[in-house]
């Protein structure tokens, strides 16, 4: 495993996403993921699978302290009081405290400050260790940072070889905030891409493995691929025994429209 470090916290760079699995399917998949070596698990209130994720953790031989558990607050629960009550229910469903709690997406009616204040309260009570956001713009991230008494650890957003996030990634790097990539395989669209396949041939890796390697090799980026079959769960995890060259990284950035040079320019590299 490799790690992304922010605010003194080492987060496994490769996590396991659980949307849209539920029930026994979700529980079995999480069990396979833990057996394969994943130690970063991602769920959410709106996924309706926190109980399955929690049961898989409880049944696993992996010590709880070795698992970095993430869940997210449903947009309808973002008022101060609903944050408190809904997260208490999440803790009950999960059967354990939460390592990282995120706002799933910003509310159109509830100020960010109200949600963040309640999340800080949950940290003080020991139900939540760290907090972050998801689907936030740069400006919304600035508001969250200003509102919080504790660091914003991550912004979880859609990011993959065909989806560019240069300004957001620049902001995350400059502020030492992790960009966690959901849908890192572009919901299967990376499969069959000629550039990814060609690069993978050099390493004996699949196009999906190359896409994941490209993500976690970037500064301050983690990825949370989802898979339900044991074969794909294990395959997605097998990305730590090779490293892409700068040229190969740039070729994949070019799938987004030649943004590698732009990002380097933004960062003054």
Mean pLDDT of 135-160: 98
Distance in angstroms (rounded) separating the CA atoms of residues 23 and 53:
9
**Domain residues of the chain, as ranges?**
3-266
Neighbours of 114 (CB within 10 A): 17
Q: Strand pairing partners for 3? A: 12
Query: Cα(169)–Cα(256) distance, rounded to whole angstroms?
Result: 14
What mean pLDDT value characterizes the chain?
95
Tokens 């109200």 correspond to 114
Rg (CA), the chain: 18
Q: What is the rounded average pLDDT of the residues 217-224?
A: 98
| Predicted local confidence at residue 2, as pLDDT | 97
* Domain covering 3-266 assigned CATH 3.20.20.100 in the classification: yes
Report d(CA 73, CA 51) in Å as an integer. Answer: 15
Q: In the chain, pLDDT over 90 holds for what percent of residues?
A: 95
Q: Which residues are catalytic?
A: 47
At 3-36, the pLDDT tens digits run: 999 999 999 999 999 999 999 999 999 999 999 9
Percentage, residues of the chain above pLDDT 70: 96
**Higher per-residue confidence, 268 vs 109:** 109
- The structure tokens listed for 76 are 């309808």
- 116-146 burial, b for 16+ CB within 10 Å, e for fewer? bebbbbbbeeebbbbbbbbbbeeebbebbee
What is the pTM (predicted TM-score) of this model? 0.94
In this prediction, residue 140 carries a pLDDT of 98
Reported as a single tens digit per residue, the pLDDT across 204-220 is 999 999 999 999 999 99
């Amino acid at each position: 495993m490799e790690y992304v470090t922010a605010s003194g916290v080492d987060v496994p760079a490769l996590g396991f996403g659980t949307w849209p699995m539920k029930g026994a399917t979700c529980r079995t998949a999480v069990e396979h993921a833990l057996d394969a070596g994943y130690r970063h698990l991602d769920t959410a209130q709106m996924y309706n699978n926190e109980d399955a994720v929690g049961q898989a953790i409880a049944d696993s031989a992996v010590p709880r302290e070795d698992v970095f558990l993430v869940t997210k607050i449903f947009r309808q629960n973002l008022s101060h009081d609903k944050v408190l009550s809904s997260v208490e229910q999440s803790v009950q469903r999960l059967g354990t405290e939460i390592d990282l709690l995120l706002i799933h997406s910003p509310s159109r009616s509830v100020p960010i400050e109200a949600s963040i204040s309640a999340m800080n309260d949950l940290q003080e009570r020991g139900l939540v260790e760290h907090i972050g956001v998801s689907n936030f713009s740069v400006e919304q991230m600035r508001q969250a940072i200003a509102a919080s008494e504790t660091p914003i650890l991550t912004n979880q957003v859609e990011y993959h070889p065909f989806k560019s996030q240069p300004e957001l990634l620049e902001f995350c790097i400059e502020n030492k905030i992790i960009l966690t990539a959901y849908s890192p395989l572009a919901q299967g669209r990376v499969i069959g891409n000629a550039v990814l396949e060609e690069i993978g041939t050099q390493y004996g890796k699949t196009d999906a493995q190359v896409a994941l390697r490209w993500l976690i090799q970037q500064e301050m980026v983690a990825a949370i691929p989802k898979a339900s079959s044991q074969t794909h769960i294990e395959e997605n995890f097998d990305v730590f025994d090779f490293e892409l060259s700068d040229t190969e990284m740039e070729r994949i950035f070019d799938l987004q429209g030649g943004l590698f040079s732009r990002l380097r320019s933004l960062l003054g590299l």
